[in-house]
Amino acid sequence: MSHPIFKTALAAATALSIGLTAAPALAWGDREQGIVTGIAGTLLFQHVQRDIREHQQPRRYQGDGYYERPAYGYRQAPREYYQPQRISVYQTTLGQAFNSYSSSERRDIQRELRNQGYYNGRVDGSFGPGTYEAVNSYARRSGQPGATRSMAAAYGVYDSLLY
């Protein structure tokens, strides 16, 4: 019932009925009839302008993109997208366990991973994405797939590379 065409038609019918009511009044002169017709036309014109303004709002920007102003008075909720939470390799159990070893032990771990073909980076004792992938691949292939789940499992993987 609040459709813009319905509102415009209702306003036009109201203006027409006012105009038709004023027309038969023979006691009025042309000036009075013109005033009533002018008032009805002005009301109709204002209503049409307001209706156009409400339904042709500029596009507004929200954080996730542009949205149009809804035509029926309710506001659209912004779309929410699932974004997985990303954890840095340095914050993983493998990263924390690796950094608890001494510098020479960390280089020995990387050297052993390179000897077995899992690591092709520089042996510098620094934990990064390359070391993480190498340790993870080694753990899966050596039958220790749970190395990323607990610190004890991560230490077990590193100890198997050291000793």
Q: 95-105 pLDDT, tens per residue?
A: 999 999 999 99
Q: Domain containing 19: what range?
A: 4-60
**Number of helical (H) and strand (E) elements in the chain, helices listed first:** 6, 2
Let me know if residue 72 belongs to a domain: no
The tens digit of pLDDT for each residue in 79-91 reads 777 777 778 888 8
Joined together, the tokens standing for residue 32 give: 């009075």
Distance of CA 89 to the CA centre of its chain: 25
Q: Which of 43, 60, 77 is the last residue of a domain?
A: 60
Q: Is residue 126 part of a domain?
A: yes
Buried b (16+ CB within 10 A) or exposed e, 113-139: beeeebbeeebebebeebbbebbbebb
Q: Would residue 77 count as lying in a domain?
A: no
Neighbours of 147 (CB within 10 A): 24
